[in-house]
Amino acid sequence: MKTSSNHLFRRAGVSLLALAAVASALAFTFVLNDKTGLPSKWPAGSIPVKIMLGSTTTLSDGSTYNSSAAAAALAWNVAIGSAQIQTTVATGSAGDNNDLNEMVFADKVYGKDFEANVLAVTTGWSRGNERTEGDVIFNSAKVWDSYRGATRSAVDLQRVAIHELGHLLGLDHPDEKGQSVSAIMNSHISSIDALTQDDVSGAQSLYGPPGIPANDAFANAEVITLSATGTVTKNGVNTNATKETGEPSHAINGGPSQTANSGGRSVWWRWTAPSAGNVTLDTRGSYFDTLLAVYTGTALANLVSVASSDDIDPGVVQASTVTFTVTGGTTYRFAVDGFNNADGKGADSAGITLNLAFTSTGIAVPVITTQPVSVTVNTGVSTSFSVVATSTATLTYQWLFNGTAITGATNATYNLSSVTTAQGGTYSVTVTNSAGSVTSDGATLTVNTPAPTPAPVSSGGGGGGGGAPSLWFCAVLAALGLARFLRRNSP
Ligand SMILES: [Ca+2]
Ligand SMILES: [Ca+2]
Ligand SMILES: [Ca+2]
Ligand SMILES: [Ca+2]
Ligand SMILES: [Zn+2]
């Protein structure tokens, strides 16, 4: 859910003083929407930026101010998925709140003096969680150049541009949140002249990595394993995810003030409940306005809605939560999508945190520890399939042939004597206790008809002519040869 008011925030720039701290954990921070607590970031698509720094001066690395700043934008673009900074070169001066993102040299920030030692300032306008404008103003009182490595008396424009474009994207200073990391987003300029892992992780939390997430499609849902009372947290992104044909809108049962939202960038997880119990599922910790829905069913065409949610607290806590009871052995499908505010840029997207908490209220369904194994045999021989399952309750078994129950095949091992080719196919077994059932993987029985074994052709010279001998004729020749051999060795 979105608010409609515009508000201005400003970020202080880079100071010339002090050294950057040395690295440890990942600890990126964001400029937040103070109403929702979510990061203020750009919607999916391109972020147009007009670079108006000049192209006449050749700098130490061979670039110009304009091309050095364009390279800074490219450094971010290759790291992020849902938005791209699209630079164009222009001339003129910047305007505040003019719906244009501009990079300029100036001696003031829209009438305000630069604070002491500040190299640059990035302004920001936002609406709800979304950025709408940002200008980068480089302090024209400083001497600027473009180079890599240790800092010199002239300031490297490119690393300052990378830093300020990080603010434009929505990142803040990790070192000002008491965190000690190696980052170009730290508040003080240093020998760090490119993005670090921390900078990239922060940006990817907002915009995802390049590419489409592996669990975009319903059929490619990521499996969650939680086989007893407990909790599990999964992380993902819905950056560049899509809505499939026939896919429902996910928060249609979102609550009294929450109506169905079209979403459009869904990703999927699935989890099989180990026993009857109660579940709480939420998206707290995600970096965007999520939608969450729970279903049963094996395909988009036969989904049954179990629960869904848009906002925990409409418009304020925009993460989603649902509680529901589960049946042991049933597989539940979880869709996480982004709220779509109809801005023409599709559903919101960014990093996802999905928290599953399960409390078992019954005995667990059987767990198959050894699956039946495929075999290949000749006709007429005997074979068997076996399963091993564990359970705290009494187990029963039912073997299936090509999905159909086999009469009387109700033990852990199913024996087949003197198999025929008609018995070739897929065998599986459903193991049941009082909590529910679980069906094994299918094992294949392949039945071969043995080819006749060719008997040795006599080498005694008596064969001669007449084409391929029949089986019987060969046997006679072999017997005759054996008889001759015995006679020769008789005393
Ligand atoms: Ca502007
Ligand atoms: Ca999808
Ligand atoms: Ca929401
Ligand atoms: Ca949108
Ligand atoms: Zn800064």
Q: The domain at 218-364 falls in which architecture?
A: Sandwich (2.60)
Q: How far is the CA of 82 from the centre of ligand 3 (A)?
A: 19
- Residue for token digits 């009469």? 407
Helix (H) or strand (E) holding 83: strand 83-89
Asked if the model's pLDDT at residue 15 lies above 80, the reply is no
Q: The domain at 6-207 falls in which architecture?
A: 3-Layer(aba) Sandwich (3.40)
Q: How far apart are CA 122 and CA 47, in angstroms?
A: 15
The residues placing their C-beta within 5 Å of ligand 4, an ion, are 341, 343, 345
144-145 and 155-156 as β-strands: parallel, antiparallel, unpaired? parallel
Asked if the model's pLDDT at residue 25 lies above 50, the reply is no
Give the start-to-end residue ranges of the domains of the chain. Answer: 6-207, 218-364, 367-448, 454-491
45-52 and 83-89 as β-strands: parallel, antiparallel, unpaired? parallel
Using pLDDT thresholds of 50, 70 and 90, give the confidence band for residue 483.
very low
Asked if the model's pLDDT at residue 457 lies above 80, the reply is no
Q: How far is the CA of 83 from the centre of ligand 2 (A)?
A: 18
Which of 239-253, 321-335, 459-473 is modeled with the greatest confidence? 321-335
Asked if the model's pLDDT at residue 333 lies above 80, the reply is yes
- Does CATH place domain 367-448 in 2.60.40.10? yes
How far lies 421's CA from each of 8, 376, 403, in Å? 77, 11, 18
Q: What is the pLDDT of residue 259?
A: 65
The residues placing their C-beta within 5 Å of ligand 1, an ion, are 98, 100, 102, 135
Lowest mean per-residue pLDDT among 31-35, 127-131, 343-347, 382-386? 31-35
Q: What is the pLDDT of residue 343?
A: 86
The string of DSSP codes covering 391-432 is -SS--EEEEEETTEEPTT--SSEEEE-S--GGG-EEEEEEEE
Q: How far is the CA of 243 from the centre of ligand 2 (A)?
A: 5
Q: What share of the chain is helix, strand, coil (3-state, %, to 5)?
A: 15, 35, 50
443-448 and 375-378 as β-strands: parallel, antiparallel, unpaired? parallel
Q: How far is the CA of 96 from the centre of ligand 1 (A)?
A: 5
Give the residue, 142 or 435, on which the prediction is more confident: 142
Asked if the model's pLDDT at residue 146 lies above 50, the reply is yes
Task: Classify burial at 210, counting beta carbons within 10 Å of its beta carbon; exposed 0-12, middle 13-18, buried 19 or more.
Answer: middle
What average pLDDT score do residues 76-83 get?
98
Asked if the model's pLDDT at residue 188 lies above 90, the reply is yes
Q: What is the pLDDT of residue 454?
A: 63
Tell me if domain 6-207 and domain 218-364 are identical in fold: no
| Residue 293 CA to its chain's centroid (Å) | 17
Q: How far apart are CA 463 and CA 118, in angstroms?
A: 106
Taking the model in full, what pTM does it have? Answer: 0.76
